[in-house]
């Protein structure tokens, strides 16, 4: 699949620019084992990069002031002058890229002319972070081709900044980190306060994570994502006013939250309560992973779904149905909606021997109930963004 993606992208470059590309980059999507919506609240998250990618075919154009993109999947092009300041445009896909350029420019760096064609195997609006793959992929390319000297951490932050300023989604840092720092076969535990991270083996010995795509598409520009942040910010404001000595959100206790409950109202209370519990669940999940306690890990996943559905309220009927039905099946240890929510995929921890049965049963039940054909992704945990060189990188 990735080989086809690479060939198709090279071909698209050829057609769009009437010449051969010089570099190929692969920027991955991500899964998140656990730790949802806590990345903008000093929490821990457990994501991993996967073998679904945005592929970029790139050529540096000397003595040119233009950067041109060809988005193969939309059959659209866009050019801009690299010496001018950019502002957001009506096409969303362009804003992810212009936002990166703007963030790079604000750091006082200059780039040269470029031609880029790109195409993706990361389904859009499915909670697998195609946005971060696009932003961070472009940031990585600029950094490498023009020797800008940004660290990997800075590239992730540039990606996030692009989304905040040019796209308008106040996302956390998890997706960008996973895309940049992913490691083959490893899940990362990222402390979203310090941005320190460590890797855990993702070998689940007889179990695997399988994604069920509800095919309910969402974009966080309109999904309610930013509203959830506002609910949480309202709670945080009151908490910090009352307990100014606390440094990180995760150091507030439920008892402290109870003390501001009346002031912040039930909605903000529920959101913050979910976050405090979720941050603790991630720590427990990391322990379960390191001890290979898959049963415990599965239980935590399922608890997260309950929190996301009833307290954080980012699930939907389709995902609640998928999770509820999946959990009834033999060999399923845990299931939950994954990513920002409001549609997209569930992540399911299933015994390898039972995977096929579970997929067949759930596919049928889902279609009967909603008349939608769910998609299934059996992904491999993979390397973060990198330049593809045919010999060195097995795909």
What are the residue numbers of the active site? 175
Paired residues of 348 in beta bridges: 210, 335
Please state the closest distance from residue 175 (CB atom) to ligand GLA, in A: 5
- Residues 161-180 as x/- pattern, contact with ligand GLA by CB under 6 A: ----------xx-xx-----
- Closest separation in Å from C-beta 132 to ligand GLA: 7
Binding region for ligand GLA (CB under 6 A) out of 34-42, 117-125, 200-208, 254-262 = 34-42
Closer to ligand GLA by Cβ: residue 172 or 359 = 172
Instruction: Output b/e per residue, 342-372; b: 16+ Cβ within 10 A.
Output: bbbbbbbbbbeeebeebbebbeebbeeebee
Among 43, 340, 344, 384, binds ligand GLA (CB under 6 A): 340
Written in H, E and C, the secondary structure of the chain is CHHHHHHHHHHHHHHHHCCCCCEEEEEEEEEECCCCCCCCCCCEECEEEEEEEEEEEEEEECCCCEEEEEECCCCEEEEEECCCCCCCCCCHHHHHHHHHHHHHHHCCCCCCEEEEEEEECCCCCCCCCHHHHHHHHHHHHHHHHCCCCCCHHHHHHHHHHHHHHHHCCCCCCHHHHHHHHCECCEEEEEECCCCCEEEEECCCCCEEEEEEECCCCCCCCCCCHHHHHHHHHHHHHHHHHHCCCCCCHHHCCHHHHHHHHHHHHHHHHHHHHHHHHHHHHHHHHHHHHHCCCHHHHHHHHHHHHHHHHHHCCCCCHHHHHHHHHHHCCCCEEEEEECCCCCCCEEEEEEEHHHHHHHHHHHHHHHHHHHCCCCEEECCCECCCCEECCCCCCCC
Q: x/- binding map, residues 90-129, to ligand GLA, per CB under 6 A?
A: ---------------------------------------x
Nearer to ligand GLA, 298 or 340 (CB): 340
Among 339, 343, 344, 384, binds ligand GLA (CB under 6 A): 339
Q: Which of 12, 13, 25, 36 binds ligand GLA (CB under 6 A)?
A: 36
> Minimal distance in Å, beta carbon 93 to ligand GLA?
16
Q: Does 43 bind ligand GLA (CB under 6 A)?
A: no
Task: Identify which of residues 137 and 172 has a Cβ nearer to ligand GLA in the complex.
Answer: 172
Query: Residue 86 Cβ, how far from ligand GLA at the closest point, in Å?
Result: 22
Cβ distance to ligand GLA smaller for residue 337 or 358: 337
Q: Pick the stretch among 37-45, 233-241, 266-274, 297-305 that binds ligand GLA (CB under 6 A).
A: 37-45
Q: How far is the CB of 169 from ligand GLA (least distance, A)?
A: 7
CB of 136 to ligand GLA, least distance (A): 12
Question: What is the rounded CA–CA span in Å between residue 69 and residue 53?
Answer: 17
Q: How far is the CB of 163 from ligand GLA (least distance, A)?
A: 7
Stretch that binds ligand GLA, among 36-44, 55-63, 78-86, 317-325 (CB under 6 A): 36-44
| Nearer to ligand GLA among residue 298 and residue 339 (C-beta) | 339
The binding site for ligand GLA (CB under 6 A) comprises: 36-37, 39-40, 129, 171-172, 174-175, 339-340
């Amino acid at each position: 699949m990735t080989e086809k993606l690479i060939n198709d992208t090279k071909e698209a470059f050829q057609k769009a620019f009437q010449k051969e590309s010089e570099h190929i980059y692969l920027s991955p999507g991500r899964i998140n084992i656990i730790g949802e919506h806590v990345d903008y609240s000093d929490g821990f998250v457990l994501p991993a990069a996967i073998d679904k990618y945005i592929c970029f075919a790139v050529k540096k154009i000397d003595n040119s002031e233009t950067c041109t993109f060809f988005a193969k999947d939309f059959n659209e092009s866009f050019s801009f002058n690299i010496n001018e300041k950019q502002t957001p445009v009506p096409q969303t896909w362009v804003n992810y890229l212009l936002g990166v350029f703007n963030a790079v420019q604000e750091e006082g760096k200059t780039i040269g002319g470029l031609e880029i064609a790109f195409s993706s195997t990361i389904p859009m609006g499915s909670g697998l972070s195609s946005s971060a793959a696009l932003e961070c992929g472009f940031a990585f390319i600029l950094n490498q081709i023009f020797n800008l000297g940004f660290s990997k951490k800075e590239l992730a932050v540039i990606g996030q900044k692009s989304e905040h300023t040019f796209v308008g989604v106040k996302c956390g840092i998890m997706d960008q980190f996973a895309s940049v720092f992913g490691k083959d076969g490893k899940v990362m535990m990222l402390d979203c306060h310090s941005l320190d991270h460590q890797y855990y083996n993702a070998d689940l010995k007889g179990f695997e994570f399988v994604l069920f795509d509800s095919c309910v598409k969402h974009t966080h520009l309109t999904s309610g994502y930013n509203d959830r942040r506002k609910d949480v910010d309202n709670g945080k404001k009151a908490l910090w006013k009352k307990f100014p000595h606390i440094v990180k959100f995760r150091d507030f206790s439920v008892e402290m939250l109870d003390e501001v409950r009346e002031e912040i109202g039930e909605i903000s209370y529920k959101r913050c309560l979910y976050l405090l519990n979720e941050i603790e669940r991630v720590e427990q999940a990391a322990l379960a992973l390191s001890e290979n306690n898959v049963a415990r890990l599965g239980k935590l996943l399922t608890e997260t779904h309950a929190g996301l559905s009833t307290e954080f309220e980012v699930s939907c009927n389709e995902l609640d149905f998928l999770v509820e039905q999946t959990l009834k099946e033999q060999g399923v240890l845990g299931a939950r909606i994954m990513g920002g929510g409001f549609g997209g995929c569930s992540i399911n921890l299933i015994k390898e021997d039972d995977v096929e049965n579970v997929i067949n049963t759930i596919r049928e039940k889902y279609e009967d109930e909603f008349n939608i054909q769910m998609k299934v992704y059996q992904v491999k945990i993979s390397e973060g963004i990198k330049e593809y060189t045919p010999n060195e990188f097995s795909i």
